[in-house]
């Protein structure tokens, strides 16, 4: 009931299948009535009549620019988030030049693993201030920060948002151009019975079917990874929502609320199965940790020197027919073909099969590991700035980290524009490291700041050391 009521699942009138349930939005604006207005996928040639007008349009010209700055240079962000999904928003925005100020409580609200270890990655590139938002002085400081900000980020329900004093009306009163980026577990474009229920990654995995799919069935559910399967994706989806909100503000001057939710992103990572209609055949997809592929032509096999993935989903038997060692299997029924291919692939190393199966759309790829890829693409921070312009993956060993130990973190390679700068974010600061500087920037005197710290409305740290013992 909640999925339908909230708009996390929508019903569209499909011309081929009739009423059809599909996944809803991954990102939306709170007051956008069009978020629930969906049309079905097109039928063949549906838009042919529109082609002449489209072809007659003048070519779009990219705006000129030297590309020396970041897309978000000058954007001021107040980050009220914690753990993974929420902090991912600010850390992502910092890559593109945003100035992000992380506001956290004077005493940690979660354990060190969630507050510090995850923060090594998720709070990179930010400044840190510790405030007690329940105190008058702490609340006043937050409102000053919001008054000078473009964006405020938070992870929490509507109920929590309003209790924090960030309802849409209150936000507009503080700063009519400010955009609140809000993510939670169960939110959707509409309100539903679970809209104000709390939740985190594992609960979203359980509710959206990830655990059943990964575990193999309802009797053997299993968590997919220990954390972050849906979290980070939801943070990125929230950035997409912010992009729409920034464009609306550019056109109208209006701020507002941009949204994303774990449940929506949990559905998206299973998009291939997120539809239903009367008469739909069972998906009957491979499931469980022992599943090695989807049929014999899209499957993991062990070669003579290690595991590889064989992909020939379109060529199928034709790919086998080109290879002398496999040609006699091309006419075999698919039942039992995976076992036969496993025997053949085991007779030669991976490089042999890569050569044999080259030249068409089929492919063989060795199964790698994150640690091997990391070590092969590792850059030492002490050797100077990492060059991420031409690499799809790099890891940086931060061997000058303020915690006093080295840590390997992924470099921001995911988006590398030709005509804009990407900032490799600095270390996640020790919580509260910039408290005095930030409070000074919003107009407080040294006496005011000291008084706030003395009364517990602000703090300059959670512990003496970066890593609490």
DSSP code, position 328: G
pLDDT of residue 41: 86
Top pLDDT among 39 and 340 is at: 340
Grade residue 469 by pLDDT with cuts at 50, 70 and 90: low
For the segment 98-122, the average pLDDT, to the nearest whole number, is 94
- For residue 332, what are the CA distances in angstroms to 111, 312, 329, 337? 57, 15, 5, 7
Q: Pick from 159, 177, 235, 150: which is nearest to 414 by CA?
A: 235
Which CATH architecture group holds 1-35+151-276? 3-Layer(aba) Sandwich (3.40)
Give the total residue count for the chain.
Answer: 469
d(CA 329, CA 352): 18
Q: Pick from 206, 169, 199: which is nearest to 261 by CA?
A: 199
330 contacts 318 by C-beta, under 8 angstroms: yes
Put simply, whether the predicted model's pTM sits higher than 0.85 gets the answer yes
Per DSSP, what are the bridge partners of residue 346? none
* Residues whose CB is less than 8 angstroms from the CB of residue 436 and which lie 6 or more positions away in sequence, other chains included: 446, 449, 460
Give φ, ψ of 303 to 5 degrees. -85, -175
Please give the positions annotated as active site: 231
For the segment 31-56, the average pLDDT, to the nearest whole number, is 91
For the chain, the domains span 1-35+151-276, 298-366
- pLDDT tens digits for range 82-105: 999 999 999 999 999 999 999 999
């Amino acid at each position: 009931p909640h999925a339908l009521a909230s708009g996390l699942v929508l019903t569209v009138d499909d011309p081929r299948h009739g009423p059809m349930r599909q996944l809803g939005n991954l990102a939306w604006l709170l007051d956008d009535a069009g978020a629930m207005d969906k049309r079905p996928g097109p039928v063949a040639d549906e838009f042919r009549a529109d082609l002449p007008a489209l072809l007659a349009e003048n070519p779009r010209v990219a705006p000129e620019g030297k590309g020396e700055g970041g897309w978000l240079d000058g954007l001021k962000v107040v980050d009220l988030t914690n753990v993974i999904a929420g902090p991912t928003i600010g850390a992502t925005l910092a890559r593109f030049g945003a100035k992000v100020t992380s506001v956290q409580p004077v005493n940690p609200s979660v354990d060190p693993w969630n507050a510090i270890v995850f923060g090594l990655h998720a709070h990179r590139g930010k400044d840190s201030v510790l405030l007690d938002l329940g105190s008058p002085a702490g609340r006043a400081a937050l409102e000053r920060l919001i008054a000078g900000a473009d964006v405020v980020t938070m992870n929490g329900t509507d109920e929590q948002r309003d209790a924090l004093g960030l309802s849409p009306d209150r936000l507009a009163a503080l700063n009519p151009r400010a955009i609140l980026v809000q993510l939670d577990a169960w939110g959707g474009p509409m309100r539903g019975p679970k809209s104000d229920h709390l939740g985190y990654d594992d609960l979203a995995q359980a509710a959206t079917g990830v655990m059943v799919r990964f575990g193999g069935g309802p009797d053997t559910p299993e968590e997919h990874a220990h954390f972050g399967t849906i979290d980070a994706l939801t943070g990125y989806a929230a950035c997409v929502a912010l992009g729409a909100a920034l464009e609306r503000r550019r056109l109208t001057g209006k701020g507002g609320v941009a949204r994303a939710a774990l449940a929506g992103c949990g559905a998206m990572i299973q998009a291939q199965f997120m539809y239903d209609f009367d008469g739909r055949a069972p998906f009957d997809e491979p499931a469980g940790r022992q599943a090695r592929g989807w049929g014999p032509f899209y499957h993991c096999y062990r070669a003579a020197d290690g595991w590889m993935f064989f992909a020939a989903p379109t060529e199928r038997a034709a790919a086998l027919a080109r290879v002398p060692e496999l040609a006699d299997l091309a006419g075999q029924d698919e039942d039992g073909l995976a076992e036969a291919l496993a025997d053949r692939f085991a007779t030669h190393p991976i490089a042999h099969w890569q050569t044999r199966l080259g030249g068409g759309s089929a492919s063989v790829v060795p199964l790698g590991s994150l640690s091997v890829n990391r070590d092969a693409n590792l850059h030492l921070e002490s050797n100077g700035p990492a060059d991420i312009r031409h690499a799809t993956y790099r890891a940086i060993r931060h061997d000058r980290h303020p915690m006093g130990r080295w840590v390997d973190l992924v470099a921001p390679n995911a988006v590398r524009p030709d005509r804009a700068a990407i900032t490799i974010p600095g270390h996640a600061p020790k919580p509260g490291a910039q408290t005095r500087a930030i409070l000074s920037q919003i107009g407080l005197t040294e006496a005011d700041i000291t008084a706030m710290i003395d009364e517990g409305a602000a703090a300059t740290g959670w512990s003496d050391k970066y890593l609490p013992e």
